Amino acid sequence: MSPLSQGGIPTSTSGWTLVGTAPDDGSGALVWNDELGLPELGPTDVLVKLHAWALNYPDISSKHPPSTHRPNPILTYLTAVANGTFPWSPADHGKGSLIPGSDGAGEVLAVGSHVTRFKPTDRVIVVYYPNFPDGGAPTYAQMAGSPGSNKDSPGTFRHHGIFTEHGGLIRMPANLSYSEAVTLPCSALTAWNALHGLRALKAGEYVLAQGTGGVSLFAILFALKAGAVVIATTSSEEKARRLRGMGVQHVLNYREDPNWGETARKLTRDGLGCQRVIEVGGAQTIKQSFQCVARDGEIDVIGFLTGQGHAEDGPTFLEPLLRACTVRGIEVGNWIQFQEMNRAIEAYDVRPVVDGGVFGFGELKEAYQYVWGQKHFGKVVLSDGQQ
């Protein structure tokens, strides 16, 4: 039980801290703490009791060694990860502790005196980029303050949190449970931005989604609802079966068909290619993405599951010109896009794909190990049992 102030507002809470780094899945750096301090509730602050949490790829990061290239130092506020291999880990990561996690959903317990957007009992989701209201991509300054990114921006892996009314929270879609809604802040919004950020996906267009991670599955869900034709890649016959069960029209096994990009192109209308390619693989998949993208199509670069380097036979900087396509890096999405996405989720009753292995909040280490072992299909969620 959290200590209470005279006004009934908890002054501390319990949850997980990340102390230094640890190898492999990074779970060895996770430490439970029953005395995590909470700041005073300010006039524009909202106190939330969190009921569900979700894991994202950056929480655990890549099995591949980090790039020797270091980006602009201002990027050091990006997501701190447990094993220290994420290329934008803070420069001081490993020299103290922070509260990790960026995805959280819960119930409003109390609001500050000037809060007008929320009231107690409202069901809300924590926003990944609270300082990014609009625009095609966040500036470095707008990326600051992302939950779990540094010691001054505590993450969501705790029972209670205080968030700003303006940008820090958004209402849950009415058709979703906490365990479903918590999957939206990063993976779903990234997929929505990829399909609708520059120009809206149209019915009858072709979308290629790589793998069965959170972003790819959300892209599949949104694309199918938009009337697009979806081509998905996987290496597992069991996952292929589940993809077809979702309504995916074409599934390619990338292990059996290393030239799946060309195969995908042949599946499109008149062999013209895909209008969208959800690129999550990186160095070892980008060549095939160029093979299947349509002229005037878009490759949305989202992840680097196959590493951060450059494949020996990889494309050169001339490839976008030769293919006459757009290659776009996606940084989640803005607050307005989040609202638009939530309206679509309600209108079309989109139900996120949550992995069957839902964990209790005290099982975060086991959840890290589960994701590291690539045993999941869809988003891995932790829940306190509230619906």
- In three-state form (DSSP H/G/I as H, E/B as E, the rest C), the secondary structure along 199-248 is CCCCCCCEEEEECCCHHHHHHHHHHHHCCCEEEEEECCHHHHHHHHHHCC
pLDDT at residue number 283: 73
pLDDT at residue number 67: 36
pLDDT at residue number 374: 79
Q: Are the beta carbons of 61 and 83 closer than 8 angstroms?
A: yes
pLDDT at residue number 44: 97
pLDDT at residue number 80: 32
pLDDT at residue number 53: 98
d(CA 303, CA 58): 9
pLDDT at residue number 147: 94
Domains along the chain with CATH numbers: 12-183+354-383 (3.90.180.10), 197-329 (3.40.50.720)
Amino acid at residue number 257: D
Let me know if 249 is exposed, middle or buried by CB neighbors in 10 A (0-12, 13-18, 19+): middle
- Length of the chain, please? 387
Q: What's the pTM?
A: 0.88
Half-sphere exposure of 44 (CA within 13 A, CB side): 6
d(CA 47, CA 62): 33
- Residues in contact with 58: Cβ distance below 8 Å, sequence separation at least 6, in sequence order: 78, 79, 81, 86, 102
pLDDT at residue number 81: 43
pLDDT at residue number 310: 61
Full pLDDT tens readout for the chain, 387 residues: 456 554 578 999 999 999 988 888 889 999 999 999 999 999 999 999 999 999 987 776 533 333 333 333 222 223 334 444 444 444 444 445 799 999 999 999 999 999 999 999 999 999 999 999 999 999 999 998 899 988 889 999 999 999 999 999 999 999 999 999 999 999 999 999 999 999 999 999 999 999 998 999 999 999 999 999 999 999 999 999 999 999 999 999 999 999 999 999 999 999 999 999 999 987 778 999 999 999 999 999 997 555 555 666 677 888 989 999 999 999 999 999 999 999 999 999 999 999 988 899 999 999 999 988 877 899 999 999 999
Let me know if 328 is exposed, middle or buried by CB neighbors in 10 A (0-12, 13-18, 19+): middle
d(CA 213, CA 235): 13
pLDDT at residue number 149: 85
From the list 189, 190, 201, the residue with the least C-alpha distance to 225 is 201
